[in-house]
């Protein structure tokens, strides 16, 4: 997977299938370059994922290959937080299986609706 072409949809990627509507999701926002949807296993009262529509393996790869697209993801995460009326929220990018990444398509977790403790665990 490390040598997969960046930016191209991957047939076996769950998030690419959400982008193409092959897999249903509860979409809360969508732009030309991003889509935001509710996490199916929420870790907070509000838990939304913001992904680029183009496939990039993780946040570091996205930032290197498509910095403007990375900025789009960050901006949309802020818009999600505003629409969900979260004054405080946590934004998380897991990179690699050791950090908890289970879907290898770059995505930001936007979490809120309760107090967030530090360290996160």
Structure tokens at 93: 């990018």
| Residue 2, domain member (yes or no) | no
Asked if the structure places residue 72 within a domain, the reply is yes
What is the domain count for the chain? 1
Specify the pLDDT at position 12: 92
55, 56, 105, 107: the active-site residue: 107
Range of the domain at 51: 14-112
- Quick one: pLDDT at residue 9? 85
Predicted TM-score (pTM) of the model is 0.92
d(CA 107, CA 105): 6
Can you give the pLDDT at residue 5? 66
CATH code of the domain containing 50:
3.30.428.10
Which residues are within 8 A (CB) of 60 and not within 5 positions of it... i.e. 6 or more apart? 95
Rounded CA gap, 79 and 108, in Å?
13
pLDDT for residue 3 is more than 60? no
Write the DSSP string, 13-49.
Answer: -HHHHHHTTSS---EEEE-SSEEEEE-SS-SSSEEEE
In a domain, 6, yes or no: no
107 is catalytic: yes
Using CA atoms, how far apart are residues 79 and 50, in angstroms rounded to an integer?
A: 10
pLDDT digits (tens, 9 = 90+) for 49-106: 999 999 999 999 999 999 999 999 999 999 999 999 999 999 999 999 999 999 999 9
For 48, the token pair is 């939304």
Report yes or no on 87 lying in a domain.
yes
- Tell me if 25 is assigned to some domain: yes
């Amino acid at each position: 997977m490390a040598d997969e072409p960046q930016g191209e949809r991957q047939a076996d990627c769950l998030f690419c299938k959400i982008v193409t509507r092959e897999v249903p999701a509860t979409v809360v926002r969508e732009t030309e370059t991003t889509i935001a949807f509710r996490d199916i296993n929420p870790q907070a009262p509000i838990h939304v994922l913001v992904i680029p529509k183009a496939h990039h393996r993780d946040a570091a790869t996205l930032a290197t290959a498509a910095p403007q697209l990375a900025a789009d993801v960050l901006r949309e995460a802020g818009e999600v937080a505003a629409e969900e009326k979260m004054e405080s929220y946590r934004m998380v990018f897991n990179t690699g299986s050791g950090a908890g990444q289970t879907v290898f398509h770059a995505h930001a977790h936007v979490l809120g609706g309760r107090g967030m403790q530090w360290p996160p665990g």
